[in-house]
């Protein structure tokens, strides 16, 4: 199978643009060709004709910085036009890229434009081209599948026993009256299912719920993950670009190896002991609490440190939109908020409702410190 091809439009014509195209092409997973923008009307016409030869589009956020070009629009403007004019079976992923500074000063502020793009990446000094390439390859392949197949929840998720999944996920996928476009499905799967813990969870969260310290158990963890947890890894649309595991199947898996024990009722040491005995993985190490925490009844992770955390000792992260019924809150630890400090560029902060409890904890620890 030939590589997926992307057209990359950037108003610059310098080493930074060449570095991006080379970064992708060197991975051998996708092919990227570079073009400079034209005036809006001609650009739209050109893209509607030329994109039949490509599998996706990469847009620089600011396309109006080169004074030698007659361009007075940015990436969201052209993406909006394409979203309204292109539908299945010709729909394609649209990717956004920019510098961190420009992304934070313009794109992050304009929430209305976020749903126009399937993925975004930063132009940086050391981009993870392998990671980006896998995601863009997966997006192109996933769009082709969605464009050309009958959509059912079972076929999209590649899972036909749906009893453990929130029914509203199934309803969303199969609601034909909504006349969902290919991009609607992409947006739903990636942003509403992949990006929030719930039906699907990331590797760090899988390890946290099993009570495992990944760094201290790396060889045994990899064996457990690749040999014994593979049966409930997500393999549906876009699964090749985003590693996720079914949370309900993780619970069932643990019940089987522990003789019916409930995963959430045990501490990290107890969970790890059952896994060691089941698979003879003596190199597994139980995770310890984050500083200022004491519980090892882990069920989430601190979004700053990615370390296991008991939700009862964490603080809910502020979200700009309400959580869906199947989504779980994200958390920060007290250590991340009040001691280490969450870097501003990560955009993480606790909910307003948590501020009083945080202040009380600060006062409590301050009093203990003074007593010592």
Contact between residue 311 and residue 299 where contact means Cβ atoms under 8 Å apart: yes
Residue 368: predicted pLDDT: 74
Residue 166: predicted pLDDT: 94
Same domain, 339 and 209: yes
Question: Which stretch of DSSP H or E encloses residue 56?
Answer: strand 56-60
pLDDT in tens, the chain (372 residues): 568 999 999 988 778 899 999 999 999 999 999 999 998 999 999 999 999 999 999 999 888 766 567 788 889 999 999 999 998 899 999 999 887 665 554 545 556 666 899 999 988 768 899 999 999 999 999 999 999 998 999 999 999 999 999 999 999 998 866 657 899 999 999 999 999 999 999 999 999 999 999 999 999 999 999 999 999 999 999 999 999 999 999 999 999 999 999 999 999 999 999 999 999 999 999 999 999 999 999 999 999 999 999 999 999 999 988 999 999 999 999 999 988 777 665 779 999 999 999 999 998 888 777 766
- Domain range for 332: 200-371
Residue 1: predicted pLDDT: 52
Residue 236: predicted pLDDT: 97
Q: How many domains does the chain have?
A: 3
Residue 155: predicted pLDDT: 95
Same domain, 206 and 343: yes
Residue 180: predicted pLDDT: 78
For residue 6, the cross-strand partners are 32, 56
Residue 103: predicted pLDDT: 58
Is the residue at 350 inside a domain? yes
C-alpha of 152 from chain center: 23
C-alpha of 248 from chain center: 19
Same domain, 185 and 266: no
Residue 179: predicted pLDDT: 59
Same domain, 29 and 89: yes
Same domain, 240 and 366: yes
Q: How many CB atoms lie within 10 A of CB 306?
A: 15
Distance CA 243, CA 131 (A): 11
- DSSP, collapsed to helix, strand or coil, labels residue 64 as coil
- Which of 144, 145, 162 lies closest to 153 in space, CA to CA? 162
Alpha-helical segments (H) within the chain = 15-25, 40-50, 75-85, 100-102, 129-148, 153-157, 167-174, 182-187, 203-209, 218-223, 247-258, 268-279, 334, 355-371
Contact between residue 57 and residue 92 where contact means Cβ atoms under 8 Å apart: yes
Same domain, 211 and 327: yes
Is the residue at 340 inside a domain? yes
Is the residue at 195 inside a domain? no
Residue 338: predicted pLDDT: 87
Q: Of 133, 166, 190, which marks where a domain is finished?
A: 190
Distance CA 315, CA 175 (A): 35
Same domain, 174 and 296: no
């Amino acid at each position: 199978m030939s590589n997926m091809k992307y057209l990359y439009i950037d108003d610059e014509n310098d080493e930074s643009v060449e570095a991006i195209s080379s970064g992708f092409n060197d991975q051998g997973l996708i092919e990227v060709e570079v073009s400079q923008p034209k005036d809006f009307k001609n650009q739209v016409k050109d893209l509607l004709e030329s994109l039949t030869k490509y599998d996706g589009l990469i847009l620089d956020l600011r396309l109006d910085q080169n004074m030698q070009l007659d361009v007075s629009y940015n990436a969201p403007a052209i993406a909006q036009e394409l979203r309204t004019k292109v539908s299945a079976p010709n729909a394609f992923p649209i990717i956004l890229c920019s510098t961190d500074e420009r992304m934070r000063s313009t794109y992050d502020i304009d929430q209305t434009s976020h749903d126009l793009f399937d993925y975004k990446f930063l132009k940086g000094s050391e981009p993870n081209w392998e990671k980006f390439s896998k995601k863009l390859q997966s997006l192109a392949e996933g769009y082709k599948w969605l464009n050309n197949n009958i959509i059912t929840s079972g076929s999209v998720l590649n899972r036909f026993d749906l009893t453990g999944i929130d029914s509203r996920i199934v309803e969303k996928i199969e609601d034909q009256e909504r006349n969902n476009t290919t991009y609607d499905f992409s947006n739903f799967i990636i942003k509403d299912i992949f990006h929030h813990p719930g039906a699907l969870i990331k590797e760090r969260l899988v390890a946290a719920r099993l009570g495992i310290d990944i760094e201290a158990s790396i060889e045994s963890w990899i064996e457990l993950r690749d040999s014994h947890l593979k049966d409930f890894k997500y393999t549906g649309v876009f699964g090749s670009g985003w590693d996720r595991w079914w949370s309900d199947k993780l619970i069932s898996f643990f019940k089987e190896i522990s003789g019916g024990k409930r995963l959430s009722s045990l501490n990290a040491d107890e969970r790890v002991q059952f896994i060691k005995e089941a698979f003879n993985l003596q190199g597994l190490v139980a995770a310890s609490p984050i500083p200022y925490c004491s519980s090892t009844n882990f069920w989430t992770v601190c979004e700053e440190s990615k370390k296991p955390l008991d939700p009862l000792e964490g603080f809910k992260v502020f979200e700009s939109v309400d959580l869906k019924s199947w989504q779980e809150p994200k958390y920060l630890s007290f250590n991340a908020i009040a001691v280490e400090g969450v870097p501003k560029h990560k955009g993480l902060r606790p909910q307003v409702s948590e501020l009083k409890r945080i202040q009380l904890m600060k006062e409590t620890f301050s009093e203990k410190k003074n007593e010592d």
